Amino acid sequence: MTESERELGTCWFEQVWNQGRREAIAEMMAHDAIVHDGESTTVGRDAFYSLFDRMTATFSETHISVEDTIAEGDKICVRWRCACRHTGGGLGITPTGETVHFTGISIMRIADSVFVEAWQNWDMLGVIEQIKGVGISGTYISAA
């Protein structure tokens, strides 16, 4: 894996999410890329554009900090932290203006300097709970 391929995960979060550069998706994602997100699978850039548009219509002032990256073989793993403001109704919830904080991990398989497949997991339940102001779910268990 080249150094630029290794940095693809950091560039993805900076350009696509922090800068909101929709065109960066085509620069870094294969046209037929597969994205596994929990129980959902998105196939192809066009399907991902729909997700991107919905998320950017729902959240503004997005800032994702890359906390760690690990690369092995043809995969990179990115551990990240996000803060954004709920300013749109894209989730079917009236905008609250609340700033939400959540974390996630994304694993990307790289080929020809673009990602061709990805697996991600992020705290959507925590996002919804923060938006609705209901506190942390009783099902959330931490080491603390």
Q: What pLDDT was estimated at residue 14?
A: 97
Given the structure tokens 């551990």, which residue do they identify? 79
pLDDT beyond 90 at 142 = no
* Residue of higher predicted confidence among 20 and 5: 20
Q: What pLDDT was estimated at residue 144?
A: 59
- Per residue in 110-135, pLDDT tens? 999 999 999 999 988 888 888 887 76
pTM: 0.86
Return the SS3 of 33: strand
pLDDT beyond 90 at 143 = no
Burial bucket for residue 103 (CB in 10 Å: 0-12, 13-18, 19+): middle
Given the structure tokens 């990240």, which residue do they identify? 80
**pLDDT category, 137, cuts 50, 70, 90?**
low
Q: What pLDDT was estimated at residue 91?
A: 83
DSSP letter string over 59-87?
EEEEEEEEEEEEEETTEEEEEEEEEEEE-
* Closest C-alpha among 104, 111, 60, 109 to residue 82: 104
* Residue of higher predicted confidence among 62 and 4: 62
Residue ranges and CATH numbers for the domains of the chain are 3-132 (3.10.450.50)
Phi-psi region of 82 (alpha: psi -120 to 50; beta: other; left: phi over 0): beta
